[in-house]
Structure 1
Amino acid sequence: MRVIDLTHTIKEDMPVYPGTETPTLTPVSVYEKDGFRESLLRMTTHTGTHMDPPAHLFPGRTTLDEFPASQFIGKALVIDCSSLKEGEEITLAHITRYGEKAEKADFLLFYLGWDKRWGSERYFGDYPCLNEEALDFVIRGAYKGIGFDVIGLDPIADVGLSRHKKLFREKDIVNIENLKNLELCGEELFSFSCFPLKLEHGDGSPVRAVAWFEEET
């Protein structure tokens, strides 16, 4: 089995959404004194490679702990949008060029190549986002989730989070942000999981997103 890690490492100096606290990892037990090591982790629920549920935007909507575990595993397809320049849009044509594969997928993961900017100010630039037609296609579909290798579903300039609100207003779906290594997954359907922490009333959670492929013998 070949496994690809699609997850950024959580550490104290990592990129976070503008205005958000960076994580802290504080030792509370050490080998020399206690015989083991333990750390106190402080961070927001939307740190690093993480997942949004509908409750992130709307009170009374589905929280992460209310989803069945089956929501976080299935078949995924990478949608290659790496040719797009800053400020351009992800269109329906980017999705439909994959034909039936896009319809059979449980997760659509949009590859923009922005994970290569991780750790620099360029990561917070004007990354491409789904346009209205592409977002409508996702909402009409039976997808468990969508994901991106950028910091948001909406542009950073959109403080109203209009795409988040449209996606989550009535649809039970998850949105994954800050993925990496999507270019390694090819153009065919593959096995994918993105399990969050099971936090009570979870409005979001870091995930360990993974792709895996059964090797042919």
Structure 2
Amino acid sequence: MSTPTTLVDLSHPLDPERMSIPPDLPQLSCCPIATVSKDGFSMHTVSLGSHTGTHVDAPSHFIADGKTIDQIPLSALVGPAIVLDLTSKGAKEVITWADIEKSPHADQIKAGVILLLHTGWSKHWASPGHIYWEHPYLSTDIAEKLIARGVNVIGVDFASPDESQFEPPWKFPFHRSFLGLGGFIVENLTNLEQLKGPGVMVNLLPINLVGSDGAPVRGLAWK
């Protein structure tokens, strides 16, 4: 196996001082409990929600009997990827199946491929105000059409494939459809603009948190 010449980091840093986390969800904390100068070694305690930063949504996030993070096959989240340029989409604008089909790489959306949507919204990560949560979102029919083509993993460079909402009634139709059909969702990706042309490979494996509905991922891409 050839060694990749360039690795692209697809994950935002987990930095408590620079994060986009809704205020009502668990905030990231990384606190020292031992130091080299005092204790002879360094150690931190880390606290975060299962959907903090760049992360994978397991089906159990919305489906009562769905797979948990530790039950996702390793092979599902490592492999060839197709990156679609959707940077024309603006705030709170819906991405439709017609938008997907118009991509010059639409014919490569097939079984075993990981689909990544590049909107450029990751540039708003950790921005003040609410702009990061005003991202584009996906029409529900995309979920069924992707699963029908054998695509079980979709990744986005924004907070959620659904419109972000912070109070009930909770809807999240894309999540319920795609996860309900056995798919997996990767959210808050970054640096997708660096992935151009064919031959992209990705590794989106999350931390192996037994029984969890989601987990952070250090995503990598290479050619």
Same fold, TM exceeding 0.5? yes
1:188 matched to 2:198: yes
Contact in 1 for aligned 2:97/2:142 (Cα 8 Å): yes
Q: 1:178 aligns with which of 160, 163, 188?
A: 188
TM-score by length of 2: 0.89
Find the residue that maps to 2:33 and give its secondary structure. Answer: strand
- Bigger CA drift: 53-62 or 102-111? 102-111
Q: Residue 12 and residue 99 in structure 1: after superposition, are their counterparts in 2 closer, same or farther (change >3 A)?
A: closer
RMSD: 1.7
C-alpha deviation, 1:123, in angstroms: 3.6
Contact in 1 for aligned 2:146/2:152 (Cα 8 Å): no
Q: Which stretches in structure 1 are left out of the alignment for 5+ residues?
A: none
1:111 matched to 2:118: yes
How many pairs were matched up? Answer: 212
Q: 1:206 aligns with which of 208, 211, 216?
A: 216
2:137 corresponds to which residue? Answer: 129
Matches within 5 A, 1:62-101: 62-96=67-101, 97=103, 98-101=105-108
Q: Residue 122 and residue 116 in structure 1: after superposition, are their counterparts in 2 closer, same or farther (change >3 A)?
A: farther
Equivalent position amino acid for 2:178 in 1: L
Identical residues among aligned pairs (%): 29
Equivalent position amino acid for 2:80 in 1: K
2:152 corresponds to which residue? Answer: 144
Q: 1:53 aligns with which of 58, 74, 77?
A: 58
Contact in 2 for aligned 1:145/1:174 (Cα 8 Å): yes
Contact in 2 for aligned 1:72/1:144 (Cα 8 Å): no
Equivalent position amino acid for 2:170 in 1: V
**Which structure carries more strand by proportion?**
1
Distance in 1, matches of 2:213 and 2:13, equals 21
1:180-215 Cα offsets, whole Å, 9 max, x none, are 0101101424110111111111210000111111xx
TM-score by length of 1: 0.91
Q: Which stretches in structure 2 are left out of the alignment for 5+ residues?
A: none
Find the residue that maps to 1:195 and give its secondary structure. Answer: coil
Q: Residue 112 and residue 10 in structure 1: after superposition, are their counterparts in 2 closer, same or farther (change >3 A)?
A: same
Equivalent position amino acid for 1:73 in 2: V
C-alpha deviation, 1:28, in angstroms: 1.2
Q: Residue 5 and residue 155 in structure 1: after superposition, are their counterparts in 2 closer, same or farther (change >3 A)?
A: same
Contact in 1 for aligned 2:34/2:44 (Cα 8 Å): yes
Contact in 1 for aligned 2:140/2:173 (Cα 8 Å): no
Find the residue that maps to 1:134 and give its secondary structure. Answer: helix
Equivalent position amino acid for 2:200 in 1: F
C-alpha deviation, 1:105, in angstroms: 5.5
Q: 1:8 aligns with which of 9, 12, 21?
A: 12
